[in-house]
Amino acid sequence: MARPRKPLLSRDRIVEAAGALVDEEGLEAVSTRRLAAALGVSGPSLYNHFRTKDAILEAVADAVSARVDLSMFEAGDGRNWREALHDWAHSYRAALSDHPNIVPVLARGPGRRPAGLRVADAVFGAMTEAGWPPGHATRIGALMRYFILGSAVGSFAEGFVDDESAYDPADYPHLGQAHLLAERRREVDEGAFETGLTALLDGLALQFAALPGERTPE
């Protein structure tokens, strides 16, 4: 019987393998040698699809951006600008929470990444369509990215150890319950994100109402 053929090497296979490596071991673990071994190919064959390791990481980052829901920004969706930003922020954070190790690459900005540019285009377009001046819309897009990416960098709750003795009340009189935070990571971190997002959107709503000209409250 003929031996089964190996799957053809493709950009998608390389990105998938690199993404798995980033998720498991971090950005530093990605190398052409490691990827070639994982894919069962020779190192030079990767260069038929990507010129550099950085290009591979950019593609992994873009694959994560492609998972972000943008339907709330589509014409006829029905959600106002505030609802759209709220729902998009949660979708964006969920994508990053699944792949936190790629956040430093995403934080560089969309560059030439197609999915990343679609995200920026959708947010800016929706804000200007809603009546925000272009300059404001640009700043809103930047502000939302700062907030969402920052929330994905690390867990506040997980930064505390679950050892009560680590927080001597003589030194830290207000951290008597800090050892309980780690086991409540999801509750604390998701609650903090929603609290911050609500405050951010409340502030934007006040700015929107104060813009010159007639504005429809949203």
pLDDT at 214: 54
Band the pLDDT of 8: cuts 50, 70, 90: confident
In this prediction, residues 160-188 reach a mean pLDDT of 93
pLDDT at 45: 86
Q: How far apart are CA 216 and CA 28, in angstroms?
A: 49
Greatest alpha-carbon pair distance for the chain in Å reads 77
**What mean pLDDT, rounded, does the chain reach?**
92
The amino acid occupying position 123 is V
pLDDT at 1: 47
Band the pLDDT of 43: cuts 50, 70, 90: confident
Would you say residue 30 has pLDDT above 90?
yes
Distances (CA, A) of 42 to 21, 38, 47, 57, 180: 17, 10, 10, 19, 49
Neighbours of 166 (CB within 10 A): 13
pLDDT, one tens digit per residue, over 59-117 is 999 999 999 999 999 999 999 999 999 999 999 999 999 999 999 999 999 999 999 99
Q: How far apart are CA 54 and CA 105, in angstroms?
A: 9
In this prediction, residues 18-27 reach a mean pLDDT of 95
pLDDT at 153: 85
Q: How far apart are CA 97 and CA 160, in angstroms?
A: 19
DSSP 8-state symbol, 160: S
- Concatenating the DSSP letter of every residue in 40-100 gives TS-GGGGGGT-SSHHHHHHHHHHHHHTTS--GGGSTT----HHHHHHHHHHHHHHHHHH-G
Band the pLDDT of 44: cuts 50, 70, 90: confident
Lowest pLDDT segment from 41-45, 104-108, 169-173, 189-193: 41-45
**Token pair recorded at residue 148:** 């969402």
In this prediction, residues 168-185 reach a mean pLDDT of 93
